[in-house]
Structure 1
Amino acid sequence: MLALIADSLERERATSGRDTIAVGALRIVINRSPLAVREAAVQAWPLIDSLYGTAAQSLVTRPYFIQAVDPDTTVRRRVLRVGSEVPWDLSVQDLTSLLLVNVPIAPPDRAFGDWLGGPVRPRLEAKADAGRVYVRLVTAPSKAARSCFLGDLTGCRSALDLDDADDAFLKWYPTALERRVVLQRSFADYFNRPATAGSWNRCTRGDDNACIQLLRSIPHHAIPQPLDLEARRLLVYAALRRGGRGAYVRLLADSNGAISNRLASAAGVGLDRLLSDWRTEIIAARPAAVTIPPWGAFIAFGWIVLLAGCALTSSRWRAT
């Protein structure tokens, strides 16, 4: 109760003597300054509105609080406990990014937030994000990821942790070798200690049951997963894009539902169709291959000859 009162008083202090800038449903409370807040809000609002749809209207009652400050002053400023302190010469592009990564929309429920690794935020680098996920999909040491890359949507479901299974790692790493490797790469120091040394030694010598028991002793979120959180965020974006303006509301409507069902509900299609859309986007973002021009081989050969000549004329190779 005291915390709520303190927060309310701090917000009241933060709004006193300030202007409120309105763009769409965005409300930005800010002190008078040269900071280009309206210009940044005009750029940010369409991205915010397209992501959250009807839920974006709740931002009318959830304003940003920004304190624009002189970046060159040496005058001591009072501590700001509500909102963000921003130099007033910040560029429109950087301020737009600041607004996008700090959208004051209500956070999702804990289950969804844990799966996603945080709140849903507008995309800043769509093509680059998908390209990084493509690389991860190709290189992940997991059969589930490899199967997903080859078009098996069951593998995609497993790699994105949508199976709602306690032993999901058995699908991420279905072979004994994969399980042993993931333990050796990530948990060697943790398990190679007196309390677990026996199980660890049996696992490293090829006892898969020992490896499975060790993996079961690790919290689900701590086991290295085939795909990182960026892949999940791209799946959420695909669901919201397909589902229209009411998608975000549907996504968060059932906090007790399985993540897979919630994504399908948001998208308005079956999960397999959504996964297919997501995979198509990832495959299309394959990074361009680096090509070597025809004359590149001659330059490389020239360097080889030059370095070889230097080596042969070195005093280390001359007879004494």
Structure 2
Amino acid sequence: MLVPHAWAQDTVVIRLQGRADSLLRAWRDAQAIANVADSLERERATAGRDTIAVGHLRIIANRSPLPLRQAAERAWPAIDSLYGSAAADLIQYPYIIRAIDPDTTVRRSVYHVGLEVPWDLDLRWTTTLLLANVPVPPLDRPLADWLGAPLRPSLDPADERRTVYLQLVTAPSQAVRACFLGVLARCADVLALGDTSGLLERWYPSPPERRALVNESFGDFFNHGANAQAFQACLALSDAACTGLLRTLPVGTLPRPLAYAARATIVREAVRLGGRDSYRRLLESNAQIGERLAAAAGVGMDSLVGAWRNAIMRARPTAVALPWWAVGAAFGWLAFFGACGMRSSRWRL
């Protein structure tokens, strides 16, 4: 009785294996056809175009007033400083740019590869276009999810660091303030560099912070249905209710204490410390984010976080010094408006 049953099971397994093999062959055939189609489309899009070479950048474009060479000369140092030795791979992946007349109404052929941009862009916007579309492979999923946005070269990293400094000063978070004051463990917490368990208590350690988070960020979400009673209890200063509600949020929904710029700047700091091969090491590692960044930088995580914080603190915006005559002018205007106010009938007895 067992033999026919086993034979039937083997038959089903063989049949399913055959279907899986058939699907795999079909997928490979479709992939090969797609590659051929993509190759033909790229050849059609690049035929008769000029090639601009700056560093390891290659730009294939039609002739136009677009300042591509000047933009590439501005963009290349920023690209090279971020990607290091990995920037050499860009020679194999050229930009394909089609500059078009923005005012024409004539129909034109459609290409399915490259970028189509108006040819009246100025140098600044053309440079931004190149930086925002560097043809590098996408980041792996864990690194991309942690960053929250694509990592792109920057023409003004100092401005990005100033933005992070203002975040450290103004963020309504005890953990962020502790980072600002020099507690590196809190910096690692708010950047989510280490263990991601218990982030709620580490990001928002005080009951008022958690209550404000429930009320201001998720009030509409929690104030109905089965959560309405717990929401009202939270507003009535029950920290257990607030914490319980926040724990029901899906993974990745909890607002981060610091915005994208903070995470981007520590990646740039790791790449700067680690030298030309640091970006490659960052991509090759499968460890936790903090360990990956430390390996890319070639230093311990505490040293990396400390270097990042020092760079942010040095980016503090400079105070504006008023000239001596500005103070006198201010008092003069105050006296003038005061005199005008005293002449008003409202101030007369």
Q: With the length of structure 1 as denominator, give the TM-score of the two structures.
A: 0.90
Counterpart selection for 1:286 from 286, 295, 316: 316
Once residues 72 and 324 of structure 2 are traced to their aligned partners in structure 1, the CA distance between those partners, rounded to angstroms, is: 49
Q: Are the structure 2 counterparts of residues 61 and 197 from structure 1 closer, same or farther at C-alpha, using a change threshold of 3 Å?
A: same
Structure whose CA Rg is larger: 2
Aligned amino acid, residue 65 of structure 1? I
| Cα RMSD (Å) | 2.2
Of the three residues 155, 167, 192, the one matched with 2:186 is: 155
Q: In 1, distance between residues paired with 2:67 and 2:166?
A: 38
CA distance in 1 between counterparts of 2:59 and 2:47 reads 13
Bigger drift between 89-98 and 267-276 goes to 89-98
- Specify the SS of the correspondent of 1:27: strand
Q: Does structure 2 conserve the Cα–Cα contact (< 8 Å) formed by 1:30 and 1:65?
A: yes
Partner of 1:129: 160
Alignment deviations for residues 207-233 of structure 1 (CA, whole Å, 9 cap, x no partner): 111111211122343322221110110
Tell me, yes or no, if the aligned pair for 2:85 and 2:276 is still in contact at 8 Å: yes
Mapped contact 1:70–1:88 kept (Cα < 8 A):
yes
CA separation in 2, counterparts of 1:195 and 1:152?
Answer: 40
C-alpha change, 1:30 and 1:313, in structure 2 (3 Å) is same
Do the aligned partners of 1:69 and 1:87 also contact (CA within 8 Å) in 2?
Answer: yes
In structure 1, what is the equivalent of residue 118 of structure 2? 87
1:275 and 2:305 aligned: yes
Which structure has the highest helix share of the two? 2
Q: Distance in 2 between matches of 1:78 and 1:311?
A: 69
Q: Which amino acid aligns with 1:145?
A: V
Alignment of 1:229-308 (within 5 A): 229-254=260-285, 256-308=286-338
- How far 1:93 moved relative to its partner? 3.7
**Equivalences for 1:112-261 in 2 at 5 Å?**
112-254=143-285, 256-261=286-291
Contact 1:167 1:216 in 2 (8 A): no
Residue 31 (1) aligns with residue 55 (2): no
1: distance between equivalents of 2:325 and 2:214? 46
Asked if 2 retains the 8 angstrom alpha-carbon contact of 1:66 and 1:84, the reply is yes
Amino acid at match of 1:150: L
Aligned length, in residue pairs: 318
Partner of 2:26: none
SS in 2 for 1:222: coil
- Give identity over the alignment, percent: 53
Is the 2:75–2:155 contact (alpha carbons within 8 Å) kept by the matching residues of 1?
no
Structure 1 unmatched ranges of 5 or more: none
**CA-CA distance at 1:316 after TM superposition:** 5.1
Q: Give, in whole Å, the separation in 2 of the partners of 1:142 and 1:220.
A: 20
The question of whether the paired residues in 1 share the 8 Å contact of 2:100 and 2:119 is answered with: yes
Separation (CA, whole Å) in 1 of partners of 2:205 and 2:133: 39
